[in-house]
Every structure is written in C-alpha cells, then in structure tokens.
Amino acid sequence: MAIAIFFVLHWQASVFFQSFFLHRYGAHRQFEMSPRMERVFHFLTWFTQGSSYLSPRGYAILHRLHHAYSDTAKDPHSPHFYGNVFTMMWATKGRYEAFVRGRETPEAKFDGGYPSFPLIDRLGDQWITRLAFAGGYVAFYVCFATSPWMYLLLPFHFLMGPVHGAIVNWCGHKYGYRNFASDDASKNMLPLDFLTMGELFQNNHHKFGMSPSFAARSWEVDPTYVIMKGLDAIGVIDMTGAQKMRWTPADLVRRVEAPGLAAVAIDPAE
Ligand SMILES: [Zn+2]
Ligand SMILES: [Zn+2]
C-alpha cells in the first residue's frame, strides 16, 4: 500500500509541476506570480522531479520550438517523424542537453523569459544530486516493498520527467479526438486527463497556446487548471490577464480534417 501511494503521489506531483511550472508558466507565461512564489515553485519542481529534473530554460526552448514547428521536420519531438517512442525521446534528450550545455544556441525568439534559479538548476543537473534522489527512491522501496515485482516500478521514479514527456509527446500528437482544426496533428486523448494532469489536451492547447486552461468543452477536465483556479483564488498566482478560450460551435472539427493536415500522417479512422 505504501508503495502504491508513493508511486501515485510521485507521479502526480511530478507531472503537476511539469505542467504548471515548466510548461504553463515557464515556457508560455500564461499567468503571473511574485518572484518569491516563483522560487518556491521552482524548488518544488526540482524536488518532485528529483532524479529526472528538467531545467526551465531547456524545457522552455524545446517546447517553444515544438509549438513553432509542430509536426514538421523541425519539431524536436513529433511522433510522425520517428519509428517509435524511444527513438523520439532519445533525440529529444540530445536536443535538450545541447541547449542546456550550450552546444546549441537557440534563436533569440525562443530564448529568455523563463524562471531562473541558478543554484537549483546547477544542483539539479549534477549526477550526484540525481543519484541521491534515485538512492532515496530505492531506500523507500527497500523499507516498504512487500513483493519483489514492486522493484520493477523503480525505473519510473528514476525517469519520471521523461516518462511523462514520452506519453504527452507521443500520444498527444497521435491518438484521440480533435476539437479544433490546426496545421499540426495535435489530439486530445482523455476527456478527464488523470494520467498527465491535463497535458493530453494537446489539440486544445495548440489552438489556444496562451490559455492556462487546457480544457475547452464542458465535459473536459484539466486537473492542473482546477488546482490553478484554487491558487488564483487565494492569491498565490494571478490569472487576471490570462487568455480566455473564445470559440463558437462552428469552430469545432466534425468529420472533416483541416486541409493542411493532409501532409501529416493521420489515421482517417480517428
Ligand atoms: Zn504538442
Ligand atoms: Zn505548450
């Protein structure tokens, strides 16, 4: 039981901070917060991602490239240009490291405007820190695992950030339904995204990139946004100036896909 609780808590906390802090705040600046709260959330992002911590700068540059070039050859992680999810994630890792280690310089328009906390970013990227977190996960399992098979879950803890990235980047542009026509292959996979805290509403998000809410329809639930509304209500974040999704039923995709999508491999059955 302790292992199940730990696994679910680590999974959900890690993907929440990835979605809330790295993605919606760091890469898109969809809402505001004070410099002090920014530090608190930066720390929590590091603490929950632990051994697989992603820096806001590396994440933001890669993600902005993804929006600018979605599902074209210049997209850093389109599932339509890779044979499987592992080759896609390996290439993504290489590109991420190139930006973080300074081997590749991004165009100015993709750089800047992300949260910076040099101490945490330096610490979080060191092997000794990553190994210490991994050691902590192993120690927890040694204390609480009641069956040997449970140790098979450890790799998920070690690689939590990339695991979420793999699910969102692969499935979010391959499987599911579309609400809006767009010139990419983005899809919404789960009407209630319990798996990645709202990140799987890729189609809604690509249509309204600056909206803090990723749910567009009345029956769609974006768990991260539900929490964000609470944080906004108590003044921890400020969503006053945030983009609102404004669309009419005529904007909704029915059976016909947008013409521009013909260039992208899309299963007509979807
Ligand atoms: Zn996307
Ligand atoms: Zn985005």
Reported as a single tens digit per residue, the pLDDT across 202-231 is 999 999 999 999 999 999 999 999 999 999
Per the DSSP assignment, residues forming a β-bridge with 177 are: 188
Distance CA 229, CA 24 (A): 13
Q: Is residue 247 situated within a structural domain?
A: yes
Mark residue 213 as left, alpha or beta (left: phi above 0; alpha: psi -120 to 50; beta: remaining): beta
pLDDT digits (tens, 9 = 90+) for 74-117: 999 999 999 999 999 999 999 999 999 999 999 999 999 999 99
Q: Is residue 245 situated within a structural domain?
A: yes
Ligand in closest contact with the CA of 28: 2
Q: What percent of the chain has pLDDT over 90?
A: 88
pLDDT digits (tens, 9 = 90+) for 121-172: 999 999 999 999 999 999 999 999 999 999 999 999 999 999 999 999 999 9
Cβ neighbours around 119 below 10 Å, total = 11
Q: Is residue 74 situated within a structural domain?
A: yes
Q: Is residue 55 situated within a structural domain?
A: yes
H/E run at residue 14: helix 2-17
Distance CA 89, CA 126 (A): 21
Give CA 222 to chain center in angstroms: 13
Distance CA 34, CA 31 (A): 11
Q: Are 216 and 198 in contact (CB under 8 A)?
A: no
In the numeric block, which tokens belong to residue 194? 């319990």
214 CA → ligand 2 middle, Å: 10
146 CA → ligand 1 middle, Å: 39
* Residue 45: domain span: 2-263
- Burial of residue 194, with CB atoms counted within 10 A of its CB: 0-12 exposed, 13-18 middle, 19 or more buried: exposed
Distance CA 68, CA 42 (A): 25
Per the DSSP assignment, residues forming a β-bridge with 201 are: 188
Is residue 265 over pLDDT 80? Answer: no
* Residue closest to 205 by CA, chosen among 74, 70, 92: 70
CB crowding 209-225: b at 16 or more within 10 Å, else e: eebbbbbbeeebbbbbb
270 CA → ligand 2 middle, Å: 23
Q: What is the pLDDT of residue 251?
A: 87
154 CA → ligand 2 middle, Å: 28
Q: Is residue 270 situated within a structural domain?
A: no
37 CA → ligand 1 middle, Å: 27
Averaged pLDDT for residues 16-41: 97
Q: Is residue 269 situated within a structural domain?
A: no
Q: Is residue 246 situated within a structural domain?
A: yes
Q: Is residue 103 situated within a structural domain?
A: yes
Spatial neighbors of 204 by CB under 8 A, at least 6 apart, are: 179, 180, 188, 211, 214, 215, 216, 220, 245
Ligand in closest contact with the CA of 165: 1
Per the DSSP assignment, residues forming a β-bridge with 192 are: 221
Ligand in closest contact with the CA of 212: 2
* Residue closest to 33 by CA, chosen among 267, 242, 254, 255: 242
Ligand in closest contact with the CA of 22: 2
The total number of structural domains in the chain stands at 1
pTM of the model: 0.91
21 CA → ligand 2 middle, Å: 12
| DSSP secondary structure of 138-175 | HHHHHHH--SGGGGGGHHHHHTHHHHHHHIIIIITTTS
